[in-house]
Structure formats: structure tokens, C-alpha cells
Amino acid sequence: QQQVKQSPQSLIVQKGGISIINCAYENTAFDYFPWYQQFPGKGPALLIAIRPDVSEKKEGRFTISFNKSAKQFSLHIMDSQPGDSATYFCAASMAPSGNQFYFGTGTSLTVIP
């Protein structure tokens, strides 16, 4: 059973546009939600993360929006650039289970110049 559901599977955005990737979870015990960016042949790189006591967190062009009641969170990439073309993964973890992350299935983002 997929603990974290991610959509869309792929996304094509024009340069300068906004990329939006969505994730949903069921387990209300999750309390840490990171987003990772992965380029082909590389390990995932931590982009930004949020805890459920805030509804939004922004770092540069990347923003996480968090809706605790809906059990959903999303990544917004503003002013998308061709260099942002990569696969993005959402993830979730909960304190009692150590640092075990449950990952979404990934979104392949392509930014067209």
C-alpha cells in the first residue's frame, strides 16, 4: 500500500511558468514532509521540508503548501527554469519510526525553454 500518493506522474511547463506537484497521505502520525529533487544517475537532493504546524514554507523559488485537514501537501516551483527539469519526490516520516521515509512515486518535470 502506497503511504504517500503523488501526482502528476509527469509535467511539462514553459520556462517562467509555475510547476505544481501534489501529494496526499493517510497516516496522521506523519509529522515531517520533505521534497527531494533527483537528476538522472544521481541521489535525491533535499529541496525543502515542512512540519504540520505551519501551512506554508518558502525557500527561494520553491514553496510547500500544507493542508493538514485534507492531508495534502504540494510543491510549487515559481519561475520554472530548464535547469529544474528533474524528477521530484515527496516523502513523509513520523517520529516513532526513526528516520524512515515513505516516498511518493515521483514526478518527472520538463521545463521547455
Partner 1 sequence: DAGVTQSPTHLIKTRGQHVTLRCSPISGHKSVSWYQQVLGQGPQFIFQYYEKEERGRGNFPDRFSARQFPNYSSELNVNALLLGDSALYLCASSPLGTNTEAFFGQGTRLTVV
The answer to whether residue 100 forms part of the interface with partner 1 (CB under 8 A) is yes
Rounded distance, CA 12 to CA 33, Å?
24
CB of 31 to partner 1, least distance (A): 7
According to DSSP, the residues that pair with 64 across neighbouring strands are 57, 75
Q: Which three cell numbers stand for residue 65?
A: 503548501
Please report how close the Cβ of residue 90 comes to partner 1 at its closest, in angstroms: 9
Q: Cell 518535470 belongs to which residue?
A: 109
Residue 111, CB half-sphere, CA atoms under 13 Å: how many?
A: 19
Cell digits of residue 32: 515531517
Binding pattern for the stretch 39-58 against partner 1, x by CB under 8 A and - elsewhere:
--xxxxxx--x---------
Nearest to partner 1 of 2, 14 (CB atom)? 2
Q: Does 62 bind partner 1 (CB under 8 A)?
A: no
Q: Which stretches of the chain bind partner 1, using CB under 8 A?
A: 6, 31-32, 34, 36, 41-46, 49, 89, 91, 93-106
